[in-house]
Structure 1
Amino acid sequence: MDLLVSLSDKLNGIVLRVCGAMVAVLLAINVYGVFFRYALNDPLPWPLPISRILLVWIALLGISVALKAGEHVAVEGAVRALPLKYERYVRIAGYGVTGVWLAVVLWHGWLATAAADQLMMISSKLQISFKWRLAAVPASAAVQLIHILACPAIIDTALKQRGEDRP
């Protein structure tokens, strides 16, 4: 289990750095595009489609960061209302259901990515495979599944924080 938690921690650090770099690139591309569009009155065709691809990747990888931090979408009020001994079981069940869902998303995302053969026309000379956008789905699901497999550590952290929050 320690190996899995260590892998999850390292992967989360990598994802955070990659997302940070993508946000910086997204910002630079948008500023560049805005400058050409409004200052030079010569809009470029590629900033918007590239920004869309980056935004999809940032959003989907960001979900894995939230999951690792225990901040994934949940009904926290109902879960926290339970006694501590039941809360652990409810959280494990929730992560189990999420894990099954992520396995389905990973599988179908992989199939969709492998089957995609369309090209996105960025300009008359620049085309990007649609696979680059679709690949964010199985990549994010795979990272989230690794975090789910390390969920006992996430749950223990959440329960420890809850115990510290009590008066």
Structure 2
Amino acid sequence: MEKYSRSFQSNVNNQIGKQFEELILAGCQYYRQKQLAEINRIPEHFRVVKTNRDGSFSGRFTGLAQPDFSGTLQGGKSIVFEAKATTNDHIKQSVISKEQKKKLNYHYINGALTGVCIRIKNIYAFIPWSVWCDMKKRYGRLYMTESEAKEFAVKTPGFIDFLNYQNEAITYETY
């Protein structure tokens, strides 16, 4: 019974992740149509090893994980961010791999707008990279709760408006 419970939860989490990504992609499309930004999903480094007769295939990852999205904002500034969703009431800093952290740090140091677009239960937020990296000092632990994420909440008018903070004190100068 436990096996089926884990399998069901895995399917639920997978669906939530797909829906979350679709909402981010809708935001990217909105910014593109408004000529505010050109942001794209970075594909995984992947190679097909075997193709089966039924159309399924076996494959393997060929490179280390990259951040999920990157692009250019109106005015020329780069944007690079990772996307993470959870059904828990908190999100751990460790959901970002060492390689993703390395890449995000590099972009941050070079002046890109960097962060982590998250969904914690029903809160959608864009956490600036400096805040994400400073969780231990800021919150006394290596995770952020749903209520703490509210400070960085973004609007969701049919898409995740990750460049438009509800909290004006932390709005990035993107428009």
Where on the TM-score scale, by shorter chain, does this alignment land: which range?
0.3 to 0.5
Relative contact order higher in (CA < 8 Å, ≥ 6 apart) = 1
More strand by share: 2
More helix by share: 1
TM-score where L is the length of structure 1: 0.34
TM-score where L is the length of structure 2: 0.33
